[in-house]
């Protein structure tokens, strides 16, 4: 098994950059091999574990599918991609490789499909056996084109303090009481 470090994070970010359209050249001109990933625009770096901890690429007019490489960066605590033109469905294993994820903001994009019912699963285990999913504090995916039922498993996020799913075509059928999110 390969140890994950800043180099693997850099590879994942380069894959991200290579798979999207960046009309303002914000990433193209800044995310280069001649500079450290710690200096890249929109990237926050954790000194203690020497890993990328946050990605804030909001308002950059980025277009295209969200490359899955960022969902494999296990040290990410914050993913902020709001106000772009990113299109894709949310991956079924959204939280599977992101045990430290606290914030997911992807408002005002073109996300489509369903919110995966397995959203509460971390490392392939159900929350009844592993409660790492409780790190998620903020989940904002409003103003997209998501459809279907809001999975009742979203209530399993015990530390969730803010959620915004508005301006989608989502049904609340599977959730007994939304107020369960804030016990």
Task: State residue 182's pLDDT score.
Answer: 42
**What digits encode the pLDDT tens for the residues 85-139?**
999 888 777 777 888 899 999 999 999 999 887 776 664 444 443 444 468 899 9
Domain range summary for the chain, segments of one domain joined by +: 8-118+131-164
pTM for this model (two decimals): 0.85
Task: State residue 86's pLDDT score.
Answer: 95
User: How many Å apart are CA 18 and CA 66, to the nearest integer?
Assistant: 11
Q: Which two tokens stand for residue 93?
A: 């294993």
Q: What is the DSSP letter of 30?
A: T
User: How many Å apart are CA 38 and CA 17, to the nearest integer?
Assistant: 16
Q: Identify the weakest region by mean pLDDT among 11-20, 37-46, 47-56, 89-98.
A: 89-98
Task: State residue 129's pLDDT score.
Answer: 37
The domain 8-118+131-164 is classified under which CATH number: 3.40.640.10, 3.40.50.2300, 3.40.190.10, 3.80.10.10? 3.80.10.10
Mean pLDDT of 34-55: 92
Sign of the C-alpha dihedral, residues 78, 84, 88, 89?
positive
Residue 182, number of CB atoms within 10 A of its CB: 9
Highest mean pLDDT among 67-71, 79-83, 155-159, 167-171: 79-83
Task: State residue 135's pLDDT score.
Answer: 82
Percent of the chain with pLDDT over 90: 50
User: How many Å apart are CA 92 and CA 160, to the nearest integer?
Assistant: 19
Residue 8, number of CB atoms within 10 A of its CB: 18
């Amino acid at each position: 098994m390969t140890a994950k470090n800043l180099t693997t994070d850099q590879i994942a970010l380069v894959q991200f950059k290579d798979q999207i359209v960046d009309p303002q050249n914000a990433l193209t001109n800044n995310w280069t091999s001649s500079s450290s990933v710690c200096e890249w625009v929109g990237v926050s770096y954790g000194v203690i574990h020497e890993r990328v901890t946050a990605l804030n690429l909001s308002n950059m007019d980025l277009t295209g599918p969200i490359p899955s490489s960022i969902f494999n960066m296990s040290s990410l605590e914050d993913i902020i991609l709001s106000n772009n033109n990113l299109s894709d469905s949310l991956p079924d294993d959204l939280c599977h490789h992101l045990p430290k994820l606290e914030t997911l903001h992807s408002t005002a994009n073109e996300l489509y499909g369903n919110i995966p019912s397995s959203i509460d699963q971390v490392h392939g285990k159900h929350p009844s056996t592993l409660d790492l999913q409780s790190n998620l504090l903020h989940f904002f995916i409003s103003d997209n084109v998501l459809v279907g039922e809001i999975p009742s498993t979203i209530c399993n996020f015990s530390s969730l303090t803010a959620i915004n799913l508005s301006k989608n075509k989502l049904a609340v059928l599977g959730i007994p009481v939304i107020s369960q999110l804030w016990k």
